Structure 1
Amino acid sequence: MNSTLGCLGNALWFLLGGVFMGLMWWMFGVLCFISIVGIPWGRACFVMGNFAFFPFGKMPVSRDVLTGTPDVGTSVFGTVGNIIWLLLAGIWIAIGHLLSAICCAVTIIGIPFAWQHVKLAALALCPIGKTIVPAPVAQAAEEAATLRDYHNKR
């Protein structure tokens, strides 16, 4: 996406409701940090909250795809963490994004915003092990991961 168009999309997104969902992510992040045991989830909430504030021109990508090496968040512990997250908070954030998507989809101009909310709702279900990068970096990382997988299978 062209940077001017991305900036315009992010500005409109923020002013027309993105701020509320970003704050919701941050609120859950603060609650996770207060609980001490929820600090890993809190960190993910703040990363995803920043993405929820300004989503255009960025994409979520699995950290093992990005770096080429697995870590705790992309291992079985990350899967367990995502299941716990889904049951405690992920479902509520996803519902918030889906309701926001429905509201945005009512108008033609809101359809791109509705689509972003749908993508954020999917991300809300399992944010552990993911990070946010510029869209070209995410695409390059996915292509590199595909090549790595191809060469590893040969």
Structure 2
Amino acid sequence: MRTLLNLIWLVLAGFWLAVGYAIAGIICCILIVTIPFGIASFRIAGYTLWPFGRTIVDKRSAGAGSVLGNIIWVIFAGWWLALGHLTTGIALCISIIGIPLGIANFKLIPISLLPLGKDIVPTEQVFGAR
């Protein structure tokens, strides 16, 4: 089921959202100071291509640098990426088949706003640790 949802996701939303993250990553990597934001953006681009079967967890080692970086990220890139998830999620929820994909889009909004201090891990790894 996961593979089927990921394939439908890739066609309907994942590719275009990943392109948005890749563009944000390229822009961030142009300047040396913003390379950590570019790396985070490329990491999330991979997650938006194939989200089902993976989840987001907080990094234990994240500190004040992540908080400051997230504030800067929201101001310059996070808000329009979150807006892309919101509009795509609403559009997908119009049809019954698209509702799970729309919900997945809404779940991506927090990481699009605050990407630093987060890890993307397989779902089995999170539930196996509990």
1:79 and 2:75 equivalent? Answer: no
How much has 1:36 moved relative to structure 2?
A: 1.4
Report the aligned-residue RMSD: 1.0
1:45 and 2:19 equivalent? Answer: no
Match of 1:30 among 26, 31, 49: 26
How much has 1:136 moved relative to structure 2?
A: 1.5
Other-structure match for 2:55: 59
Structure ID, larger Rg? 1
Give TM-score, length-normalised by structure 2.
0.96
8 A Cα contact 1:60 1:138, kept in partner: no
8 A Cα contact 1:30 1:42, kept in partner: yes
Which runs of structure 1 show a deviation greater than 6 angstroms over 4 or more consecutive aligned residues?
none
What count of residue pairs does the alignment treat as equivalent? 130
8 A Cα contact 1:47 1:131, kept in partner: no
Counterpart secondary structure, 1:38:
helix
1:92 and 2:97 equivalent? Answer: no
Specify the code of the residue in structure 1 equivalent to 2:64: V
Identical-pair percentage: 36
1:18 and 2:14 equivalent? Answer: yes
Other-structure match for 1:105: 93
Other-structure match for 1:150: none
Tell me how far apart the structure 2 counterparts of residues 23 and 140 of structure 1 sit (CA, whole Å). Answer: 32
What per-residue deviation string (whole Å, max 9, x for no partner) do you get for residues 77-122 of structure 1? Answer: 1000001001110001000000000100000000000011101112
The gaps in structure 2 that reach 5 residues or longer are none
Tell me how far apart the structure 2 counterparts of residues 61 and 139 of structure 1 sit (CA, whole Å). Answer: 11
Match of 1:137 among 117, 125, 128: 125
How much has 1:25 moved relative to structure 2?
A: 0.7
What per-residue deviation string (whole Å, max 9, x for no partner) do you get for residues 54-90 of structure 1? Answer: 10010011121xxxxx2xxx10110000010011100
The gaps in structure 1 that reach 5 residues or longer are 65-69, 144-154
Greater alpha carbon shift after TM alignment, 129-138 vs 84-93 = 129-138
How much has 1:140 moved relative to structure 2?
A: 3.8
Give TM-score, length-normalised by structure 1.
0.81
Specify the code of the residue in structure 2 equivalent to 1:45: S
